[in-house]
Amino acid sequence: MAGPIRIAVMASGGGSNLQAIIDACEAGRISGSVVCIVSDRRNAGALDRARNHGIEAIHLRVPKTGTPGWHDADRELVTLLNERGIDLVALAGYMRIIGPELIREYRHRIMNIHPALLPAFPGVEVQWDAVEYGVKIAGATVHFADEEFDTGPIIIQAAVPLMPGDTGEDLAHRILEQEHRIYPQAIQWFAEGRLEIEGRRVTLRDAVALAPTAHIVSPPIDGDF
């Protein structure tokens, strides 16, 4: 796929990642536009952000996974995305499991952002789990969505250090800053048709290589090590 793409963002919460995506589109850093926002929550802040930018805001009632009506919502979602000619679905804090129809119809065209270095810490509120666990490096992951939760092929990850005395909130904030950079970037790579997927592996065509000695060590080692 090359250039201007039609993006649907699905969000349940405040939508700061949505905002980063909208801003990148408006600034021309993403070659494409956000066509609609879909939320399972009527009063999601993400829907207000959509309206502020003149973007169609759609509230869709999505019953809990596997309960009656869940499959209907899945089909309804596919229909509304097809009707709008959507190229890419970006999940941004969407708190429902994606249904099988949507995964089938939009395979390798659904991205998700997760506030941990997957496969460590899948699930929700994982920044708090990471602090509890005592990890020294945390981060964020953008990946393609598949049938499971937080398991699809990884596109890009950003690592951040834990600081002494960090609360989950502090870490969430530090990670979020990176999310706002890597998510729009991943979407732009998709728009440029530079993401090649083979099994679990995603390769970025014409990538600028990191120095093989690049690293982050936390806490930093003393000068003579």
* Residues involved in catalysis: 114
The structure tokens 């990148």 sit at: 24
Site for ligand GRF in 98-117 (CB under 6 A): 113-115
CB 22 within 8 A of CB 48: no
Q: How far is the CB of 66 from ligand GRF (least distance, A)?
A: 21
Q: Contacting ligand GRF (CB under 6 A), which of 5, 7, 8, 11?
A: 11
Output 26 or 196, the one with its CB closest to ligand GRF: 26
Q: Which of residues 70-99 bind ligand GRF (CB under 6 A)?
A: 92-93
The half-sphere exposure of 70 on its side-chain side, counting CA atoms within 13 A, is: 11
- Binder of ligand GRF out of 7, 9, 17, 74 (CB under 6 A): 17
From the list 191, 175, 48, the residue with the least C-alpha distance to 117 is 175
**179 binding ligand GRF? (CB under 6 A):** yes
Least Cβ distance, residue 11 to ligand GRF (angstroms): 6
Q: How many CB atoms lie within 10 A of CB 16?
A: 17
By CB under 6 A, is residue 14 in contact with ligand GRF? yes
Measure the CA–CA gap between 88 and 148, rounded to whole angstroms: 19
